[in-house]
Structure formats: structure tokens, C-alpha cells
A = this chain, B = another copy of it.
Amino acid sequence: MILILKNGATNEQIDHVLARVESMGLQSHLSRGTYRTIIGLIGDESQLSQETLSSIPGVSQVIPVLPPFKLASREAHPESSIINVSGVQIGGGHLAMIAGPCSVEDRDRMYRIAESVCESGANLFRGGAYKPRTSPYAFQGLGEAGLEILRQVGDKFGIPVVTEVTDPRNVELVAQYADMLQVGARNMQNFVLLTEVGKSHRPVLLKRGMSATITDLLMSAEYVLSEGNPDVVLCERGIKSFDPSTRNLFDVAAVPVVQGLTHLPIIVDPSHATGRPDLIPPCALAGLAAGADGVHIEVHDCPEEAKSDGPQALLPEQYQEIAQRMRLMADLLGKTVSPRPSPTSGSSAGSGAPSGASNSNLPPKPPTEALA
């Protein structure tokens, strides 16, 4: 940290600051300029609070020198992490192609959609069983029944499944069914939930909050990592802006910014970022071109019947087309779409044999119809 003192800070104040810094176990380096006195702190500042320092009388500004996240930082871990989601790799040149409806609905529809996106090359299937809705009167998801359907889809088509968890009491339950746990944008700073998913053994898809800075996002990842779960994939899904043209503002530059700061992969979600089907394909390609480690797109076969977020879903045939273009883009960029485990191996993986070292010790998933 660097402390810039107030214009006119007294010698007494300066002495008090120096004494306080020393009492924190740090050395200080005093520099009196023409207009301001500056104190540089030397030593391990990881335990220092910027707030505390800026409350000391005479201190005007406190400037951190190191990022506040540690486990997530690229300085601590220079090589890009590759996250293994039941056999599908994300990061380090391996692309996630996540597709599926906003909400899990009836099983037949899920099978139809899953079959289609698998044919198009998706390698992760998504669907929400617990939906965080702004209105208490809106459809809130099928709950555990939805988780069961999702697991059946995953097992039948050999595709890992990702679903949102919203309640710390449900983390264990959701982890029994899903290959990956999503923490949604509205819960990005639900630190209680982050702590719980940090204790789980499932990889986590952490979506950026609508008003979260990139530092905020990485601090939330740090919560998960600091609980012992190293498998976090970040997701840019649009932030708040003054322009109503799009539902949110797709911050594509966040992709290289994040990649410079952390070793964790980051994917993009043009469905939520834009809220308009016509903008999903160009923004999906833009995300990949910016270096994203994957793309998350909502797909529904009849948006006007969707139980939530219909307007931001692609039709299966539209997904097929953009998926084809994404693969061409991946080729140009020298990246590969990590293949799905084969249905058979997928089923067995789904039943408890994840291949990634960091996913070990998963509880067995409950048997489902597809396994019968």
C-alpha cells in the first residue's frame, strides 16, 4: 500500500501513522514531496485493510499495490487453469459450448432440445431447476423434479449438465445431480452461497454480477477457491448501462482483462448479455474472437412457450448454425471444442468417475431412469 497524506498533515499525525504502520508489522518509507508527504509500506500487506489505513487521521488516500485476490491471481498461478467438468475441459485452448433452455421444463422437451444441441456440438447442457426471478409471482422452477430430469438428460446424451444453485441449504442436493454448479449474477456477492459451493466438490460456473467490477468478480471467485474448491469458471453476461438498446451491456473486453489477472477460464453468455436472439450470434463470435474459453447460449424449441426468458433463446436450428460458425472461429484461433464423453463413458462418468483430479471424491449421483 501507499499512503498519501493530506496537505497540511502535521508532524504529529505523520508520527502517529508511522507508529500505526509499525504496529502492523510493516516497515515504512517516508517521502516528503513539495506538496504532499507519501508513505510507502514495505512488507506483507496481505493482512492490511485499506479501510483501516484510510481512517487514520491525516491520511488522504490509500493506494493498494497488489490485487486483493490471491489464489485467483495469475501472479500466484501463471499457467492458465484447465477445469474438468466430468470429462469436458474448459480453459487453456479448450472451449466450453454450453447450451440449453433457461428453465428445465418437461422431460420430452428437454430430450428434444438436448438431442439437437448435442448434434450441433454442445459439450455442456444447461437448465435451471431453481430460478431466481425478480417477481415472486413468476415461475420459480421445478425444483428437485427439474434436477432429476436434468440428470436424465445428462446420462442419456452423455453430456455433463450445469444448473443454478440459489440456496446454501440446497448445494449438496444440487451437487448430487449436476456436474457443475452455477452461481447466478444476482448471487455473485451472496457470500454465504459462495462459501457453500466452495465446500462442494463440483466445478462452479460463477457469473459476473450486473454491477460487479472485475475485481469484485475475482474476489467472489476467491471465496470459492479459499474454501478449497479450485474449479471455478467465470462468465461475463452483461452489466448495467444507461442504454436500453440491449438488456444488459456485453463487456467483451472483460475477457482479456480477466485473463490478464487470473488463471481461471472465462466464458461469455450472449443470451443474458443482450436479451435479443438476433444479437446472440454476433456477440458469441465476438466473445470467442476476444479470447473467451467458451460460450453459453440459451436454446429453446418454442420460445413463446418457454417458462422463462424465452426472448433471449435461439431456436435449435439457429443454434446449429452459430455452433458451426463458432467452430470455424475456433479453428482460426487455434482452439478446440472439448469433446463430450461418449454416452457410455459419459454415463459412467456421470455415475461417479470424473476424470479431473480436482473433481475427486464426488458423492455418487442418484440412479436415474436413463441408467436403468
Show the binding face of A for B, using Cβ within 8 Å: 2, 4, 7, 20, 29, 31, 33-36, 38, 40-44, 46-47, 49, 51-52, 54-57, 63, 65-66, 68, 75, 132-138, 166-169, 186-187, 189-192, 195, 209-211, 213-216, 219-220, 222-223, 226-227, 239-246, 249-257, 260, 273-274, 278-279, 282-283, 285-291, 303-306, 308-311, 328-329, 332
| Contacting residue for A249 out of B44, B219, B251, CB 8 A | B251
Are A243 and B213 also in contact (CB < 8 A) when A252-B250, A289-B289, A310-B51 are? yes
A308: chain B residues within 8 A (beta carbon) = 51
A177 to B254, CA, bound (A): 39
30 residue pairs bridging A and B, Cβ less than 8 Å apart = A4-B65, A7-B75, A31-B42, A36-B65, A47-B137, A55-B304, A132-B191, A134-B189, A136-B191, A136-B195, A166-B190, A166-B192, A168-B169, A186-B189, A186-B190, A190-B190, A210-B211, A211-B239, A211-B240, A213-B243, A213-B245, A215-B245, A239-B241, A239-B249, A240-B242, A243-B251, A283-B290, A288-B289, A289-B289, A329-B332
Rounded to whole angstroms, the CA-CA distance of A219 and B135 in the bound complex is 6
Complex CA gap A235/B55 in Å reads: 25
A254 and B205 alpha carbons, distance in the complex (Å): 27
- A171 CB to closest chain B CB (Å) equals 12
Select A51's contact among B38, B132, B291, B311, beta carbons within 8 Å: B311
A304 proximity list for chain B (CB < 8 A): 20, 52, 55-57
CA distance A66 to B138 in the complex (A): 16
User: Shortest distance in angstroms between A217's beta carbon and chain B's nearest beta carbon?
Assistant: 10
Q: With a 10 A CB-CB cut-off, give which of A52, A56, A243 has the most chain B CB atoms.
A: A243
Identity of the chain B residue whose Cβ is nearest the Cβ of A241 in the assembled complex: B242
**CB of A279 to closest CB in B, whole Å:** 5
Give the distance in Å from the alpha carbon of A38 to the alpha carbon of B2 in the complex.
Answer: 9
Given contact pairs A40-B38, A65-B36, A192-B167, A137 touches B226 in the complex (Cβ within 8 A): yes
> Contacts of A243 on B, CB cut-off 8 Å?
213-214, 239, 251
B222 A306 Cβ-Cβ under 8 A: no
A136 to B279, CA, bound (A): 29
Closest-by-CB residue of B relative to A62 is B311
- B191 and A133 contacting across the interface, CB-CB below 8 Å: yes
Q: Are B169 and A169 in contact (CB under 8 A)?
A: yes
Distance between A334 CB and nearest chain B CB, rounded to angstroms:
11
Does B134 lie within 8 Å of A216, measured CB to CB? yes
Q: Out of B75, B278, B283, which one reaches A252, CB within 8 Å?
A: B283
Question: Are A211 and B242 CB-contacts (below 8 A) given A38-B40, A65-B4?
Answer: yes
Contact across chains for B51 and A41 when beta carbons are under 8 A apart: no
Known contacts A33-B42, A65-B36; is A138 also within 8 Å of B250 by CB?
no
Q: Select which of B36, B167, B278 is within 8 A of A260 by beta carbon.
A: B278
